[in-house]
Amino acid sequence: MRVLGLDPGLRVTGWGVIELIDNRLRYLGDGTIKSDDKLSLAERLGQLHRGVLAVIGEWSPDGAAVEQTFVNVNPESTLKLGQARGVVMLAPALAGLQVGEYAPTQVKQAVVGTGRAAKEQVGMMVRTLLPGCLVKSPDAADALAVAICHAHHCATKRRIGV
């Protein structure tokens, strides 16, 4: 099973692709999709959408997973992040993929073993769990962590027959 993990952001959206073979994880690729902050919000959302579609076209994942939005102190920032997240979720859904959603604490729990892990711990565990992983940015590391979380959840569901 090939999984696309996505860490949505309006400025930078991280992506990571892994493969689950039996109970082993294999790193395939990672990167970021950036929007031009000189453009209108609609144009920036279009850039994100096209970027995610390009990643899907290149890697042909079987499923996708997106990190849920946390609430910022600034309501305007939270709203813009929510819009970016919606666009990032829409692309795999329109491509016919099931899209899983995970809270940041769920992702950290699945990757590090505690829901309160620091970003650095998540990055280190991603590199440990995915030998050969390049991790081009913290956003890509977070996206790979989301993909790992989704792969674990899917494998558990298969084992228990859900």
Instruction: Give pLDDT, residue 98.
Output: 96
Comparing CA positions, the residue from 135, 128, 121, 104 lying closest to residue 31 is 135
Active-site annotation, residues: 7, 67, 139
For tokens 């959603």, the residue is 101
Instruction: Give pLDDT, residue 154.
Output: 87
Give the pLDDT confidence of 57-116 residue by residue, as tens digits: 999 999 999 998 776 778 888 899 999 999 999 999 999 999 999 999 999 999 999 888
The answer to whether 20 and 1 are in contact (CB under 8 A) is yes
Q: What is the CATH number of domain 2-160?
A: 3.30.420.10
